[in-house]
Amino acid sequence: MLDTTAPQTQTRSTGPLAGYRIVEFAGIGPGPFACMMLADMGAEVVTLDRVGAKKNMKSVAGRGRKVIELDLKNKDVIAQVLDLLAGADALIEGFRPGVMERLGLGPDIVLARNPKLVYGRMTGWGQEGPLAQAAGHDINYISITGALAAIGPAEKPVPPLNLVGDFGGGALYLVVGVLAALLEASRSGQGQIVDAAMCDGAASLMSMFFDLAAVGRWREGRDQNLLDGGAHFYGVYECACGHFISIGSIEPQFYALLRRHAGLSDNCYDAQMDPKAWPDLKQKLTDIFKSKTREEWCKIMEGTDICFAPVLTMTEAPQHPHMAARGVFVERHGVTQPAPAPRFSRTSSNIREPEIAEIGALVEEWNKPR
C-alpha cells in the first residue's frame, strides 16, 4: 500500500528552508531536481520559463514551484527579473557558460544589485576548460571521470541510468553548494557563485575508489573487484522465477550467515577474500540461487544480517512492506513518486502544489522588508 498521507500536500511551507526565496531559470535534469529538493525542504522556488513552454504541472521534478512565463529577450522583462532577484536569496541556472551574461543576468550584474545573492550554476563540464562550450549528457560527464569505466560487466561499461552524473554528481552537489553558500552569506552578508559541474561531482563521488586504487586494492576493469560484481558475496543473482536478488555479505559474520542460510558448507567457500577463487565461487552461487524463486529466498534471508534484498522494479518498490511502512513513496494526482528526503524531526518537508504566478506581484512581495 502507498502511504498517501505523509507527507501531506500543503500550500504553505513547514520545512527547514521556509522563508528562503530561490529563482530557478527553467532547464532539464539536475537543475529542476535540485530545485525540487529545495522546494520540498521549504524554500519558495519560482521558476522562470519561456512563454508558451509546454508544462506538466504534475511533474515530479517540477513540484512545489511557482511558475512564471517570460520573454527573456525583452529588456523590460530583464529589468523585472533583476527586480525579482533583488529580493531573492539564491539563483539557479543551467545554461551553457555565457548565456546568462548575454541575457544581461550574469553574476556581475546580479550581484551588484543583490550582493548577498547565492548564484548557483549547473553545467556538465563547468564554467571553463576546453570542453566548457561543448554539448554533453550524463554518460559523457561520467566517462571522463573514471566512473563509467568501472561500472558494468567485464565485456563493456554500462550506463548507470543518469544517477551518477546528472543527479548524484550534479544536482546533489549543487544543493550542497547552494546551502553552504547560504550559510556563509548569513554570516558575511556576501553572496558568491557556486560552480557545480557534473564531471566535478562525479569525480568527487569516485573518491573512495581512487583511495582503494592508491593502496593497490582496486584493479582497473570491471567485474573483478570487491564492489563491482567481481566478488561472489557482493552482487546480483537470478532466481528460478526469472527475478533477481542482491547480496552484500562483506563482513565475516555476514558471510557466515550467508553460508549458513544458503547451505554453503563446502570448504571452498572459506576463500572469501581470495580474488582468484571468486569466478568459481560465483558460478556455484549462480547455480544455488537459481534453485529457488525470489519469494523463497526472501523468506529465507530477508531481515537477517546477510545483507540481502530482492531486486524490485519501479512498480514493485512502493509495495514492499518496508518502503510502504516508511512512506518512501506517495501518490499525487495519480502519479506515484518518491516522498521528500531527508526527513527532519521538527521542520518536516512537504510536497506543495505548483502554481502559475505573475512577476509583478512577486516583485512587490519580495521587495518588502522581511
CATH number of the structural domain spanning residue 297: 3.30.1540.10
- What would the grid cell of residue 6 be? 505523509
Q: In this structure, what CATH number is given to the domain that contains residue 362?
A: 3.40.50.10540
Catalytic residue flag (residue 305): no
**Do residues 77 and 28 share a domain?**
yes
Sheet strands side by side (includes 244-248): 234-238, 244-248, 308-311
Domain co-membership, 317 together with 343: no
Question: Per the residue annotation, which of 3, 83, 137, 195 is the catalytic one?
Answer: 137
Phi, psi of 25 (to 5 degrees): -90, 120
Q: What is the tens place of the pLDDT at every residue in 255-295?
A: 999 999 999 999 999 999 999 999 999 999 999 999 999 99
pTM above 0.85, yes or no: yes
Structural domain contains residue 121: yes
d(CA 18, CA 28): 25
CA distances (Å), origin 355, targets 44, 45, 237: 12, 11, 46
Rounded to whole angstroms, the Cα distance separating 290 from 139 reads 33
Give the number of domains in the chain. Answer: 2
3-state secondary structure 44-55: EEEEEEECCCCC
- Our answer to whether residue 228 is catalytic in this structure is no
Amino acid 2: pLDDT = 38
Q: Determine how many CB atoms are found less than 10 A away from the CB of residue 182.
A: 21
Looking at the structure, do residues 175 and 248 belong to the same domain, yes or no?
Answer: no
Catalytic residue among 49, 166, 200, 228: 166
pLDDT of 1 > 70? The answer is no
Say whether both 70 and 203 belong to one domain: yes
Average pLDDT over residues 169-174: 98
Asked whether the beta carbons of 38 and 174 are under 8 A apart, the reply is no
Domain that holds residue 49: 9-207+328-366
191: pLDDT strictly greater than 90: yes
- 189 and 265 inside one domain: no
Amino acid at 155: E
Task: For residues 350 and 250, state if they share a domain.
Answer: no
**Both 43 and 156 in a single domain?**
yes
